[in-house]
Amino acid sequence: MSTCPSVRLSTGAQMPLLGLGTYKLVGAENVLQAVDAALAAGYRSFDSAAVYRNEADVGRALKESLPKYGLSREDVFITSKLGPKDQGANAMEGAVRSLTQLDLGYIDLYLIHWPGTQGLDVTDHKNPDNRAASWAALEELHAQGKLKAIGVSNYTPTHMRELLQSCKVPPALLQAEFHPRLGQPELRALCLESGVCFQAYSSLGRAELLTDPVVLEVAKNCSRTPAQVLLRWAVQQNIGVLPKSSSSERIRSNADIFDFTLCDEDMAKLNGLDCGQRFCWDPSHVL
Ligand code: NAP
């Protein structure tokens, strides 16, 4: 892979723009094969979560593979997330469980995965209180140096404003669904003005965008794969991506996005696809 640039978080930490997504990557052998292929291809960032049930396997795979490439813990950036079942009073316990499962000493970035709480109705008035309690727990572990940076995922502009007004430590990053059909202009503007790094998930639209006629046309124009075009579109805007693949070959090719540029015309064509379509869950109804 050509060199992967990094973005600077408000904590001062450098986060690589490309990371390996691990949702649905389960089973020790599968995780080891994907992590190893990613390290070989130059990935230095890995995105896990309590709900993916693979934190322990990701941690073990890194411990096994890092020395093979002459790398150490400090050379990689590990993200994980607090599960919605631990939102609120159980947040400290949930975050400590993530630290124990990964067993890598510390977590580079820990996110509240979802603004709601598992088992609560989206309109339940306890949702904001639980978010605040979770954030306080993350702030405490951040102060102890166990969570190097803390942030959120799937927050809407309303959830973000609530957090920005009440927090002691501001969120370093927001991870949200982002691809040409979901441009998230309001969230991105809010992040920009608040110093919060914006990171994309489901950049490939869970593979559904790979057959979009406009994506195919741009891919043909620049002799690249549709996946490379979708990933390049985001990183060219300085937005981090987390493509998930279980195939070593696709993991490798998804990393080949730093040695070409999409021209203004192709960027405009892709920007023109924005229609607010989501491939994942919509958090906008969570109170
Ligand atoms: P995605 O990365 O948009 O798409 C993954 C799908 O695309 C898989 O089915 C994969 O299949 C396929 N694929 C990958 N590269 C390909 C290529 N070059 N050619 C053809 N097919 C390809 O979807 P995602 O997993 O939803 O999102 C990525 C990551 O973001 C997740 O793994 C997770 O880490 C994170 N995420 C976070 C949240 C959140 O709530 N914070 C939500 C969703 C995702 P193969 O495995 O067979 O290659």
Atom of ligand 1 nearest to the CA of 23: 32
Tell me if 186 sits within 8 A of 145, measured CB to CB: no
Interatomic CA distance for residues 157 and 72, integer angstroms:
37
Q: What angle do CA 132, 15, 133 make, to 5 degrees?
A: 10
Query: For 114-127, what is the mean pLDDT?
Result: 97
Of all protein residues, the one whose alpha carbon is nearest to atom 10 of ligand 1 is: 245
Please give the distance, rounded to the nearest whole angstrom, from the Cα atom of residue 227 to the centre of ligand 1.
10
CA of 200 to the centre of ligand 1 (A): 11
Q: How far is CA 3 from CA 6, 18, 62, 65, 246, in A?
A: 10, 10, 21, 20, 22
Which among 51, 6, 56 is positioned nearest to 31, based on CA atoms?
Answer: 56
Residue type, 93: E
The neighbour count for residue 246, using CB atoms within 10 Å, is 16
β-sheet bridge partners, residue 80 = 110
Q: How many residues does the chain have?
A: 287
The residues that are catalytic are 52
**Which SS3 state, helix, strand or coil, does residue 194 take?**
helix
Q: How far is CA 145 from CA 53, 137, 149, 192, in A?
A: 24, 13, 9, 26
Going 54 to 57 to 59 to 65, the CA torsion angle's sign is: negative
Alpha-carbon distance values, 8 to 13, 37, 79, 222, 226 (Å):
6, 26, 15, 29, 28
Mean pLDDT of 18-42: 98
Q: What is the pLDDT of residue 3?
A: 84
Return the pLDDT at 1.
62
Question: For residue range 59-95, what is the model confidence (pLDDT) as tens digits?
Answer: 999 999 999 999 999 999 999 999 999 999 999 999 9
Ligand 1 in contact with 202 (CB < 6 A)? yes
Ligand 1 centroid to residue 166 C-alpha, Å:
33
The arithmetic mean of pLDDT across residues 182-209, rounded, is 98
Q: Is ligand 1 within 6 A of the CB of residue 79? A: no
Mean of pLDDT over the chain? 98
Pick the atom of ligand 1 nearest to 253's CA.
18
Confidence at 166, pLDDT banded by 50, 70, 90: very high
DSSP string over 129-166:
HHHHHHHHHHHHHHHTTSEEEEEEES--HHHHHHHHHH
Band of residue 245 on the pLDDT scale cut at 50, 70, 90? very high
Please compute the mean of the pLDDT values over residues 103-132 and round it to a whole number.
Answer: 98
Measuring from atom 2 of ligand 1, which residue has the nearest CA? Answer: 243
From 17, 20, 23, the mutation candidate for ligand 1 (largest count of ligand atoms within 8 A of CB) is 23
Q: Which atom of ligand 1 is nearest to the CA of 228?
A: 18
> What single-letter amino acid sits at 183?
G
Q: Which atom of ligand 1 is nearest to the CA of 207?
A: 7
Answer whether residue 2 shows pLDDT above 90: no
- The CA 107 to ligand 1 mean position distance, Å, reads 22
243 in contact with ligand 1, CB cutoff 6 A: yes
Complete edge-to-edge strand list for the sheet that includes strand 77-82 = 20-21, 45-47, 77-82, 107-112, 147-153, 173-177, 197-201
Output the CA 168–ligand 1 centroid distance in Å. 33
If we measure between CA atoms, which residue out of 161, 83, 91 comes closest to residue 130?
91
Task: Report CA(23)–ligand 1 centroid distance (Å).
Answer: 7
pLDDT at res. 28:
98
Q: Tell me: pLDDT of 51 over 70.
A: yes
- For the Cβ of 156 lying below 6 angstroms from any atom of ligand 1, the answer is no
